[in-house]
Amino acid sequence: PWILSNIMAAMIIWERDDIQLAKGITRALRMLDSYLAVIPADGGCDEGAAYWNMAGGSLLDCLEHLRFLTGGKADFYGDSLVKAIGSFPLRAHIAGGYFWNFADCGAMPRMDGERISRFGERTGNEPLAALGAWLHHAAGTVFPLDTPEMYRVLCRLFNPVSKLPLPAVKPVSLPQLQVFAGETNGLYTAVKGGHNGENHNHND
């Protein structure tokens, strides 16, 4: 109860003090700018697809909060880097629940389908939204798969996701991440350059 009372007190203070709220939002935006400053232009996540849940997926969480707080006035989904970050799961997708397993990422990571679908909707990327929808319904649960966040549980409960078929696989080129992938005659191949100084990378 004391946690809730503190939260309520903070909400009342913020309601009465627009300056304090503005300071908090400004600080949060500086943090997001710092994150975006180190992401390559192709939006690649060198830690692998599963880590997108807490990288690109968390960016979406922040952008959604900002959009809500400003009544939709602060909307950055048209930005090319934001779009590239959002589309990474689609680019890393092979078939079904399989994704590239570079670095120490598993071949069948527990991806947050609802967040992927929402990113696709916000950025007008229909194949990304379709992939997220398929993953969301394949999971068959609203409970956390990889990221134990109550906010995402609420998103799964209150953001309906329509059932959609998996999108077709397309050739992928991510020059900054040094990944090239595609399917030819039923054979899917993904190759990656890089170095041992990358996040979670190994000499394999």
Neighbours of 150 (CB within 10 A): 8
E strand or H helix at 30: helix 18-37
DSSP code per residue over 161-187: ----PPPPP--EEETTTTEEEEEETTE
Query: 63-85, pLDDT tens digit by residue?
Result: 998 888 888 888 999 999 999 99
CA distance 128 to 134: 10
Query: Tokens representing 98?
Result: 């399989």
Query: Tokens representing 102?
Result: 């570079």
CA distance 8 to 5: 5
User: Please, are residues 43 and 84 in contact by the beta-carbon 8 Å criterion?
Assistant: yes
* pLDDT exceeds cutoff 60 at 46: yes
Query: 8-41, pLDDT tens digit by residue?
Result: 555 555 555 677 777 888 888 889 999 999 999 9
CA distance 39 to 120: 19
pTM of the predicted model, to two decimals?
Answer: 0.85
